[in-house]
Amino acid sequence: MSKRNDWKNSVVRFYDKHIQKVRIAYGVTWNLFLLFLILGLIGLAFAGGVGAGYFASLVKDEPIRSYDQMEKQIYDYSETTEVYFANNVYLGKLRADIEREEIELENVSEHVINALIATEDEFFYEHDGVVPKAIMRAIFQEFTNSPIRTGGSTLTQQLIKNQILTNEVSFDRKAKEILLAMRLEKFFSKEEILEAYLNVATFGRNSSGRNIAGVQAAAKGIFGVDAKDLTIPQAAFIAGLPQSPFGYTPFTNKGEVKESLEPGLNRMYTVLSRMHEKGFITEQEYQEALAFDLRANLTESKPSIIESYPYLIFEVEERSRNILMEILAEKDGYTKEDLAKDDQLYSTYYYKADNSLRYDGFVVHTTIDKEIYDRFQKIAKEYQYYGSDKPEKKLNPETGQVETVMEPVEVGAVLIENSTGKIISFVGGRDHSREQTNHATKAPRPNGSTMKPLLAYAPAMELGVVQPGTVIADVPVSYGSYQPKNYGGSYHGLTTVREALKYSYNIPAVKTYSSIMSRDPISYLKQMGFTSIHENDYGALSLALGGMTYGVTVEENVNAYATFANYGEFVDAYLIEKIETKDGETVYEHKPEKRQVFSPQTAYLTLDMMRDVIRSGTAAALNSYLTFRSDWAGKTGTGQDYKDAWFVATNPNVSFGTWIGYDTPKPLQTHYKGLSYGNRNILLWAKLMNAAYEVRPDLVDPSKSFTSPGGIVTRSYCTISGDLPSKLCQEAGLVATDIFNVKYVPRKTDDNLTYGKFVYVNDEAYQVPSSAPSEFVQEGPMLKPDALKSLGITISQLKSLIGDNEKLKNLVLATDNQLSDNGANPTTVSGVKVNGGKLTWSANKDSDVIGYRIYKAANYSKDFKKAGSVPANQSLSLAIGNSPAAYYVVAVDVAGKESAPSNIIKVGNYLEEKPKEEKEEPKEDKPKEESPKEPGGDNSSNENENSSSNNQNQNTSTEENENP
C-alpha cells in the first residue's frame, strides 16, 4: 500500500515539476506566436498597403474605360481588304503589313481552342482575368533572375496587351494590364474574349511570305484549310505559334519553306503534351499526332495576287484609294476640287485613305471579267508579232551609270461595255516585272489618225460644216510653216469625207479641222474624257492627226469611241463597281456619269463611215483575222514617224482598242515576219477579241446592229463639189449617193460644169478649132476653168489625179488655150502590131495630133480604105478580128493633115491578088477558121480583152468611103 502511494506521489511530483515547465514553454511559445503573428499581420498589412499604393500609383493615370470604349478597342483590329472580279468571283487580298481574316468562334476547330487553353491559359474558364499565383510566380522569377520563365499572363491579359496597351516591358504596363483584364472580364463573356484573341493573335507567315494574324489566316496560309477543319496536330502547331511567331513559322519572307522546321515542331510537341496531360486528347490521338509530317502537310507556296495580277491590283488600289479619299474628305467638308488645289490637303487624305483601304477590311467589287482578263494576259504575253527589241540608253539607279538596255515593244488594250462604261478587261503590258507602267490606263501617247473622227469629222458634222459626201480637195496645202502630208506622200484630188476617213487621208482631215477651229472643237474631246490636252495643242492643226503634246491613254481613247456607239452620249468608263465594309455596309457604289456630246445623227454618220474603214479601208485585214462577224466600226492610227500603232473599234455592245509602241518612243518596224506594223496591231486586236468572244459571245457579238436614228436621209450629190447633181453631172457620170443629216443635206445645185465641144491632145482637152476633122470632135460636160478655184485645186493637180478617182474618170477639163497647127505633117505612127485580134499602136508625141485613122485592105485587094477613127484621148486600139486583111495607121493633126502610113500589118492569109486556080473569091464576112498567128504575136486571147476591144470599137468611126 505504502509502495503504491510512494509511486503515486513520485509521479505527482514529476508531473508537477515538468508540467510547469511545459506550461511555461507553451505560454512563451504562444505569446511569441501571437507576437510574430501580430507583427506579420502588421507587416503584411504594411506590405499590402505599400503594394496597393504602388499599384495605385502605377494605374492612377489609366482612364476608366466604359463598355463601349473597351468593345471598340478590343475589336479594333486591322483586317485585309478583299477584291472580287465581276459576278462576285474572288480575286484576293490587297497588300497590307499583315494579312488577317476575321472569323467567329463557332467556325474554329475545337482542337485549336483546347490547344490554346492547355498551353496559354489552363485556368481560363475559372479566373477573372488574372491568376495571382501565376503573377507571383512570374514576379519571383523576375526578381530571382530565374532561367525558367513560365509567364503570368492570361489570354485576357494578352488580349489587353495586343489591343489596348503596348508590348513595353514594365511594371507600369503590367499593372495597367491586370486592371484592364479584370475590367474586361466583367464586360465580356469568355467566348467573346476567346474569339477576339483568336482574331488578333499573330501567327508568323503564310506560304506567300506575308505576315498573318488571326487563326483563319493561319489555317489557310499554313495548311490551306479553314480554321474549322484543322486536325489535332495542325491545331497544336498553330496554337504554339503566338509564343514566337517568326521563330516557329515554317515559311521565310519569300514564301519558301525553311530548311529546318525543328523549332516549330518542338513547340508543337509541347502543346500536344499539355493537351494530353489536361485530357483534351487520348493517348492514341497523342501518339498519332506526334507522328505528324509537318513538311508534307504545308500548303503549297502560292503567289500573291500582286504576283498573279500586278497590273490589275495596282489599278484597283489606286482607284479605290481615290474613291475613299474623296469620301473621307467630304465627311470633313472638303470637295474634290479642294484636294486638287491643295497639295498638303491632298497628301493628308491620300494617306488616310490608303491606311483605311489596307486595314479596314473592305470588300471591293470590280467590273473585270476574270476569264476574259486571264485570256487577254496569256495572248499578250505569247503574241509573236510585236517586232524586235531596240536598244535604249537608260540610267541605272543602283550604279548611277548610263547603260544600254534592249527595250521591247509594249502593248496596252482596253475593253469597255458601251452602255454602262464597265471596263470588262484590259492589258497593262507584257511583263510587269520589267515595266510597271500600266499601258492601258497610265501611258498617254499621241493617238494618230484615231483622232480624226473624234476631233475633225464628228465635230464638223455636228456643226453642219461637212457630211460624209462633202467633197474636199486632197492636194498639197500649206498653213504657214505647217505642211501636212499624206501617208506615202501621195495625193488623191477631189475626194469625199467618207473616202478620206476610209483610207485615212491626212490633208482632208486637217482642212476640215481648220474650218472649225474657231468654234472650239477641243471641247468635244474634253466632254469625252480626254484629260491630257496641253495648252500647246489648242493652236496646232496637227492635233487633227493625233499630234498631241502628251497624248491620250488607251482607256480614254476607247471610252471616247464608245460615245459613237451610244449615239452621241458619253458614259464615263469605270472599274470599281462597289466598296463595302466587312459587315456588308455599302460605302460606295458607282453611279454612271453621262453627257450628250453629239447628236444621234452625227454619231450614226460617223459610225457608218468607220464601217467602211473595216469593210475595205485601212483596217480591211481585220475581216480575215476575226472568227466571228459583228457590226464593227473603227479607225486605225499611226503616230509620227511610226512611233505608235493604234486600232479602236466599236459595235453596239462594246468598244475595244489596242496600242503598240516602245516605252521610249521610237519607230516601229514597218514590216516584221511578213506583217506591217498596222496589221500586226490589228492581228493582236483580233486575237484578243476572238478570245473574248469565246468567253462571252453574247457580250462582244450582239445580235443587233447599229440602226439609223431619225433625221438621216439618202441623197445624191455631184462628186466634183458635193452639191446637188446637175444634169451635166449626171450626163458625165459624176453622181454618187450617201447618207446625210437631214438638217445638212446639199441645198445648192452644182454649177461647175458646162456643155461644149472639145478635142484632145496628149490627154488635155482643147476648144475645137474650125480646121479640126469632125470625126475627132467630142462633145459633153466640161469643167469650167473658173470652178477650180472654188474647189481648191489647180488644173494640173486635177489632171494628175483624175485617173486615180473612179468617180471622176469621165470628167473633161476645158481650157482657154487655142490649139494651133504646128505647120508640119504628123510624124509616122510607130509600134503598130496585132495582139489577139486587136490592132494597137503607140501614141504620137506631136503637139497637134488629135486622133488616128486606121486603113484596111481586104483580102485580094491593094485598095486601102478607112476602117476606123480613134480620138487621141481614147484607147489606142481597134478590134479587127482574124479575117485576112492588111492594115496601117496614120496620125491626124488639128488641120486634118495625116502622117505617112505606118508599117503595114497583115492579118490571116492576106494576099494582094487572088490566085488563078481559085474560081471564087471568098466572101470577107464569111466565117472562117482562125489562121495561125504571126510569129511574135500574142497567142493568148480572153473574153475580157475582146470585150474591151469591142466596147472600144463602139467609139470609133467606120466611114469606109474615104480613101487614104
Summarize pLDDT for 363-398 with one digit per residue, the tens: 999 999 999 999 999 999 999 999 999 999 888 887
List the end-to-end C-alpha distance of the chain, in Å, as a whole number.
206
User: What CA–CA distances, in Å, run from 474 to 500, 788, 806?
Assistant: 9, 13, 15
Q: Which of 5, 216, 229, 247 is nearest to 109 (CA)?
A: 229
Under the banding of pLDDT at 50, 70 and 90, the label for residue 925 is very low
Span 573-594, average pLDDT:
95
Amino acid at 513: Y
Name the strands in the sheet holding 99-100, side by side, starting at the edge strand that comes first in the sequence.
Answer: 99-100, 211-213, 202-205
Q: Strand, coil or helix: what is 906?
A: strand
Contact 571, 595 (CB under 8 A): no
pLDDT classification of 606: cutoffs 50, 70, 90: very high
pLDDT confidence band for 399 (50 / 70 / 90): confident
pLDDT at 958 over 90: no
Comparing 4-18, 87-101, 887-901, 932-946, the range with the smallest average pLDDT is 932-946
Q: In this predicted structure, what is the pLDDT of residue 362?
A: 95
Task: Enumerate residues 6+ apart whose C-beta is below 8 A from 779.
Answer: 755, 756, 757, 758
Residue, of 140 and 347, whose pLDDT is higher: 347
Type of residue at 125 = Y
**Predicted confidence (pLDDT) per residue in 764-798, tens digit:** 778 788 888 999 998 888 888 788 888 888 877 77
What mean pLDDT comes out for the span 615-636? 97
Strand partners, 749: 724
pLDDT of 822 above 70: yes
Give the Cα separation of 573 and 423 in Å (integer).
6
* pLDDT tens track for 214-255: 999 999 999 999 999 999 999 999 999 998 999 999 999 888
In terms of Cα–Cα distance, which of 192, 222, 13, 227 is closest to 107? 227
From 531-535, 835-839, 908-912, 944-948, the region with the lowest mean pLDDT? 944-948
Dump pLDDT digits (tens) for 132-189. 765 565 555 455 554 444 455 887 777 777 766 655 544 555 666 676 767 777 878 8
Res 962: pLDDT:
28
Bridging pattern class, strands 202-205 and 423-427:
unpaired
Angle ∠(855,861,865) on CA atoms, nearest 5: 25
What pLDDT digit, counting tens, does each position of 430-483 carry? 999 999 999 999 999 999 999 999 999 999 999 999 999 999 999 999 999 999
Cβ(339)–Cβ(363) under 8 Å?
no
Distance CA 751, CA 749 (A): 6
CB of 451 closer than 8 Å to CB of 635 = no
**Which of 1-10, 780-789, 804-813 is modeled with the greatest confidence?**
780-789
Distance CA 524, CA 556 (A): 13
Q: Please state, in angstroms and as integers, the Cα–Cα distance from residue 304 to each residue in 86, 88, 255, following that order.
A: 20, 19, 10
Q: Residue 820 — pLDDT band, cuts 50, 70, 90? A: confident
Q: What is the pLDDT of residue 756?
A: 84
Q: Which of 13-22, 325-334, 607-616 has the lowest mean pLDDT?
A: 13-22
Weakest mean pLDDT among 121-125, 516-520, 626-630: 121-125
DSSP 209: S
Q: Which residues contact 474 (CB under 8 A, 6 or more apart)?
A: 486, 491, 492, 493, 494, 495, 500, 505, 507, 508, 801
The whole-number pLDDT of residue 934 equals 33
Q: Determine the Cα–Cα distance for residues 688 and 681; give it in Å rounded to an integer.
A: 11
- CB-based contacts of 370: which residues, under 8 Å, 6+ apart? 85, 86, 89, 91
* Minimum mean pLDDT range among 267-281, 282-296, 342-356, 807-821: 807-821
- Give the pLDDT of residue 665: 95
For residue 541, is it left (φ>0), alpha (ψ between -120 and 50) or beta? alpha
> With 70 as the cut, is the pLDDT of residue 324 above it?
yes
Position 831 pLDDT exceeds 50? yes
Q: If pLDDT is split at 50, 70 and 90, which confidence band does 960 have?
A: very low
| Helical segments of 618-676, H only | 622-625
Mean pLDDT of all residues belonging to the chain: 85
Q: In this structure, are residues 187 and 225 in contact, taking their beta carbons and an 8 Å threshold? A: no
Per-residue confidence (pLDDT) for residue 56, from 0 to 100: 45
Cα gap 183→65, rounded to integer Å = 9
Return the pLDDT at 769: 83
Distance, CA of 851 to CA of 871 (rounded, Å): 4
> From CA 139, how far away is CA 153, in angstroms rounded?
12
- Environment class of residue 584 by beta-carbon count within 10 Å: exposed (0-12), middle (13-18) or buried (19+)? exposed
Q: How confident is the model at residue 582 (pLDDT cuts 50, 70, 90)?
A: confident
pLDDT at residue 944, as a whole number: 33
Q: In a 10 Å sphere around its CB, with 0-12 CB exposed, 13-18 middle and 19+ buried, how is residue 943 labelled?
A: exposed
Spatial separation of the C-alpha atoms in residues 350 and 339, rounded to whole Å: 9
Q: Is residue 835 within 8 Å of residue 826, measured between CB atoms?
A: no
523 has which bridge partners? none
Range of weakest confidence among 114-123, 705-714, 945-954: 945-954
Length of the chain: 964
Whether 633 and 607 have beta carbons less than 8 Å apart is answered as: yes
- Name the nearest CA neighbour of 372 among 687, 775, 709: 687
Ranking 56-70, 561-575, 919-933 by mean pLDDT, the lowest is 919-933
| Percent of the chain scoring above 70 in pLDDT | 81
pLDDT at residue number 137: 57
Confidence category of residue 943, pLDDT binned at 50, 70, 90: very low
CB 380 within 8 A of CB 311: no
Grade residue 400 by pLDDT with cuts at 50, 70 and 90.
confident
Collapsing DSSP to helix, strand or coil, 619 comes out as coil
Amino acid residing at 415: L
Query: Which grid coordinates belong to 417?
Result: 461595255
Range with top average pLDDT, 155-169, 199-213, 528-542: 528-542
Distance CA 373, CA 680 (A): 21
pLDDT exceeds cutoff 60 at 803:
no
pLDDT at 815: 62
Q: Quick one: angle between helices 67-74 and 171-187, nearest 10?
A: 110
